Structure 1
């Protein structure tokens, strides 16, 4: 059994990590670190954990923590993991960062999009991007993994097979993303206030979203050329769930059925990707509470466009579930360990 610590213990991502690790055969939560709530029991903040969880949150001492755990999950806001992970350099501890601190390949790009100094370049060079289905071999050998953002997860999983097989024009990509309010975290804001979100849809961060360079960078790696994509996010009135509708201009004559078969072959050995049949479309309800990504394909012959729809639970496959999936790969455990559960329905 490996001991896990979660830094940032009162966020939604941390709550999901605790819930999923509870079902894991080889992991246990032994430390929960919270700067604002240390000394309190986790159940004071999350009463739904009563009976199965009885841990007091602790203040952070990196050196002590490194000697007491095997894996650290950084469920922190941007700007924290990049300061802490360098202090663990040379230690045996595996680090999985759920924030955006290590997702971009250089410090200048991070500063441009996140508005603060980036992590030391040597840490960025060592960090592996944890999109499990696309970079599994690199993840297996990594000590530091950067968990992808929720929107990039859905977008990249939806687009990667088409980009790899050169089915669409790489300069024609449009991604229309919609997410529930839990994606903004637990800190209240005017935008996520009930009165603002209820019966309302809001586009936000148009042309400025921090996930834009992440999506473009990893699509460009797959394509072997620089890609720019149009990406617009929308906040919708539900708690969790994320859906991307993606458009790209076709470069060859190909049918919907042929592309579905291509996607099914591409993801054949990846248990959490469900490529739907021709008459099916993803919904957020069908992945709710699970680590699945559902993908549908449609060729619009009239406009010569490929339409891809991908749906995930933003807190599971878009955060905590994928982090545990990466931990499984890093430790040579079965990929589904702790994650093999049906979505919650209805």
Structure 2
């Protein structure tokens, strides 16, 4: 049995990670840290895990993790880059949930996250954690930068079309809607029930920090600079992201060619599901699961390709992807612990 530690284990992604690890079968949670809940039993903080995940949360000390096989770092942006290097220097494999090692250009990171990167040399060590694109690199990595929730749906929804040159790289619009858990477990007025219920609003228009992450990976896919108009929205549901993605079709593009591009890119991928022709996903069908579902069509009247992706922001958009990366890094079957039924209702 492999042992893994979790730094910052009491956020929503931390809970989801523990839920998935509890059913894994080849991995068990080791040291679990939380500055807020240090000394408390796991089941006391998360009653849903009582009797399932045992142990107490502790204050973080790098020495806690000696002898474990891998560490998940669930600290927020800016905090992670001050903790991850010490773990890597201990010879540990690390999956980092923050954005601190996703952006390959430290200057771009600083511009969008409004803080200097304290260890830009470490960025080169990190592999971007989308297995569908970087599987072999992840297998060999000591540090994996787990992707953002919005970028997961946007990148995997556009990669095949850009790779096959079926859409114009400068014409992309990503219109995404997320449940409230995507904002994290922090107490903020605009995330309180009465501020969210029966409301639907856009935020981060033209300024959302996931934009450079999306552009970075799509530029690599296209072989030319990609600029994206990305607008996220907050909707009154707990989990899930639905992204509707628009792009101008290249001359000669057809609906059949677009569907074939997705089949060519994702055939055999265990967690990618292409919807039947004319069908589009609903977030309920991926709730609690590590799948990314895609529907695609070409609007011949407007000459625009339209595709829709659905992910659970806490699973394929965060903790499920982290588990998938862990499996690859530890030489475990990639789907292990991730094939359970979802919630749906």
TM-score interval, normalised by the smaller of the two chains: over 0.9
Q: CA deviation at 1:104?
A: 0.7
Aligned: 1:255 with 2:254: yes
Mapped partners of 2:248, 2:16: distance in 1: 37
TM-score, structure 1 as length reference: 0.97
Residue-pair matches, total: 345
Q: TM-score, normalised by structure 2?
A: 0.97
Is residue 2:7 matched to residue 1:7? yes
Alignment of 1:226-305 (within 5 A): 226-305=225-304
Q: Which residue of 1 aligns with 2:102?
A: 103
* Residues 148-227 of structure 1 aligned to structure 2 (within 5 Å): 148-227=147-226
Q: Which moved more, 1:157-166 or 1:104-113?
A: 104-113
Answer yes or no: is 1:57 the counterpart of 2:61: no
Structure 2 counterpart of 1:25: 25
Q: Write out per-residue CA displacement over residues 211-269 of structure 1, whole angstroms, 9 at most, x where no aligned residue.
A: 00000011111111111110000000000000100001000323323321321221012
Task: Name stretches of at least 5 consecutive residues in structure 2 with no aligned partner.
Answer: none
Residue 330 (structure 1) aligned with residue 333 (structure 2) = no
8 A Cα contact 1:260 1:277, kept in partner? no
Q: Which runs of 5+ in 1 are unaligned?
A: none
Q: CA deviation at 1:119?
A: 4.1
Q: Which runs of 4+ in 1 moved over 4 A?
A: none
Query: Contact 2:25–2:337 (CA<8 Å) still a contact in 1?
Result: yes
SS in 2 for 1:178: strand
> SS state of the match for residue 18, structure 1?
helix
2:131 alignment partner in structure 1: 132
Deviation larger for 241-250 or 253-262 = 253-262
Q: Is the 8 A contact 1:107 1:119 kept in 2?
A: no
CA RMSD of aligned residues (A): 1.1
| Deviations 1:313-336 (CA, angstroms, capped at 9, x unpaired) | 000000000000011111222111
Q: In structure 1, how many angstroms separate the alpha carbons of the residues matched to 2:202 and 2:54?
A: 40
Distance 2:301 2:317 in 1: 33
